[in-house]
Structure 1
């Protein structure tokens, strides 16, 4: 094993034990050999930004000290290996921008130290993976642009350490559970481009650390909570292309708010012009157009996935970052 230590981007201990392999961005092609059981001391493996195909090697589960796995941006397919359940020290796993199918295996419930899952832009499907609701150490969960469906589980409300939750561009339906308002550490929540209905809870004021709230391109209805103006950390707000109605909140915008999209919706009562023209008001910050009563909520899903719509929204988000 000591001979490996002279290899490109292989890091070892003073005793010649391999602890890190970083072959990211090397134009690697083909399938990875399934022999990670030979690397018992391995802590970090990074094969991101290559052209690897096939499935993730099940033998990754035979490297018991693994803490960080990164296979972002490859051509991987198949399902996530249940054998990773043995990696009890795992803290971060990246597999975004591949073609992985199935869901997150139930066996992963043993990964109690896992803090981050980055699984965006795959072909994951089925209901929301309930196994992650038991991963109470999770701070970052990115499952956007997949094919998940069904309702959003209230059990997510017990993931009290969550800071970033991104489920946009899936097929979730039903309400946003009220119990999610107990996630007081959330800074980024993106549920846009789904099929959500119902009302936004008046308890959004619990999200005092929220910086980015994106729930546009759904079929949410009812009034927009005035408590949104109390989210002092809020920088980016997207509620457009829903069916929100009633009176748009006449109060002040959060001081940190830089980008807001609120039209079109179905507001029947808009703030008085003296409020709407006040640069400090939420209506002004959101560039509220009270003439856009007729929402395109029935067509929101199709419009939300159009290249132009996504491009405009992505550019606005980049300016925030």
Structure 2
């Protein structure tokens, strides 16, 4: 099948190794998830330079990710989760500048998180519009986000982006450069052996909807700037060694319960039952006492917003009514305008 571009055999019970002949085919999209495939990736796709989608998740693959992975210059979705892959995450992945989603979860990867990973820019969208028949996603993909696995339809996948490295043996600190991935929607680094603080740069993840750093050995305070992540729907730093005060209970953080913070004995403040001491209260959080501070921070307390909106609305109604009562000419003009509007509506 020398012209084969799309191969979908997912959701079967196919066993055995990946054949080396795949590398001689002009494959663009490969869906082989949820089978019983064994062996390594060494020879399977090393010449498939036009691959955009490679979904080998939920199999029994072993070995390392080969260095030739960096030659897939069009790779957008790389899903290798739920296998038995091991070794270090190859630095060649940093050459893939058109990535949308990478899932290496539930494997045995070790070493550090790569600080040089890049994700798709707006240029890739333009490229897809020029060559729609060949390069558009052909099948839905199952992606775990917000702690649940979803089958994302074709219409949603072009705007979906993220990284799932959970449930591995990764060590070291979280690179601050990860905070520069401000277009991703999902970031899951849970269930590893990560140490050090949560990078302050995470406050720049402006589009992230799910952020899971739970079950590691992270230390230090939770950056107060995380309250600027207004798209955040799922958040967890549970079961680490974090200390200090929890973030302000402002949207979106007012929606997160104590399960997001449990397992950190030195954390204090709502929604946890442990109250902060005066020293903990004073340490990491900035105090906003003026309107200028609120404007610069980019958000306002929800209660303050609602009260001010209602008061302003009532005042405007009263002022308008007073003006119409005092000035009969304006009053007649107003009622004439209302009458004409009603006639036009009919």
* TM-score normalised per structure 1: 0.69
Q: Residue in 2 aligned with 1:180?
A: 202
Deviation, 1:136, is: 5.8
Q: Residue in 2 aligned with 1:229?
A: 250
Q: Residue in 2 aligned with 1:33?
A: 19
Q: Residue in 2 aligned with 1:156?
A: 178
Q: Residue in 2 aligned with 1:210?
A: 232
Checking the alignment, whether the CA contact within 8 Å between 2:36 and 2:59 is kept in structure 1 is yes
Q: Residue in 1 aligned with 2:85?
A: 100
Q: Aligned in 2, Cα 1:81/1:233: closer, same or farther, shift over 3 Å? A: farther
Q: Residue in 1 aligned with 2:46?
A: 61
Residue from 45, 70, 88 that aligns with 2:73? 88
* TM-score normalised per structure 2: 0.64
Deviation, 1:64, is: 2.1
Q: What does 1:1-20 correspond to in 2, within 5 Å?
A: 1=1, 17-20=3-6
Residues 34-69 of structure 1: CA deviation (Å, up to 9, x unaligned): 2222212x1111111111111114441312221100
Match of 1:220, SS state, is strand
Q: Residue in 2 aligned with 1:112?
A: 97
Deviation, 1:242, is: 0.7
Deviation, 1:135, is: 3.8
Q: Residue in 2 aligned with 1:24?
A: 10
Residue from 64, 74, 89 that aligns with 1:79? 64
Q: Unaligned regions of 5+ residues in structure 1, if any?
A: 3-16, 250-261, 270-279, 282-321
Match of 1:84, SS state, is helix
Q: Aligned in 2, Cα 1:39/1:221: closer, same or farther, shift over 3 Å? A: same
Deviation, 1:235, is: 6.0
Deviation, 1:203, is: 1.1
Structure with the higher fraction of residues in helix conformation = 2
Q: Residue in 1 aligned with 2:192?
A: 170
Deviation, 1:195, is: 0.4
The yes-or-no answer on 1:198 pairing with 2:220 is yes
Q: Distance in 2 between matches of 1:186 and 1:234?
A: 16
Checking the alignment, whether the CA contact within 8 Å between 2:227 and 2:253 is kept in structure 1 is no
Q: Aligned in 2, Cα 1:99/1:224: closer, same or farther, shift over 3 Å? A: same
Checking the alignment, whether the CA contact within 8 Å between 1:241 and 1:264 is kept in structure 2 is no
Q: Distance in 2 between matches of 1:266 and 1:234?
A: 19
Q: Distance in 2 between matches of 1:20 and 1:202?
A: 46
When the two chains are superposed, the root-mean-square deviation of aligned CA atoms in Å is 2.5
Q: Distance in 1 between matches of 2:242 and 2:100?
A: 30
Residue from 189, 211, 226 that aligns with 1:189? 211
Match of 2:82, SS state, is coil
Checking the alignment, whether the CA contact within 8 Å between 1:172 and 1:194 is kept in structure 2 is yes
Structure of greater Rg: 2
Residue from 102, 107, 112 that aligns with 1:122? 107
Q: Distance in 1 between matches of 2:274 and 2:87?
A: 35
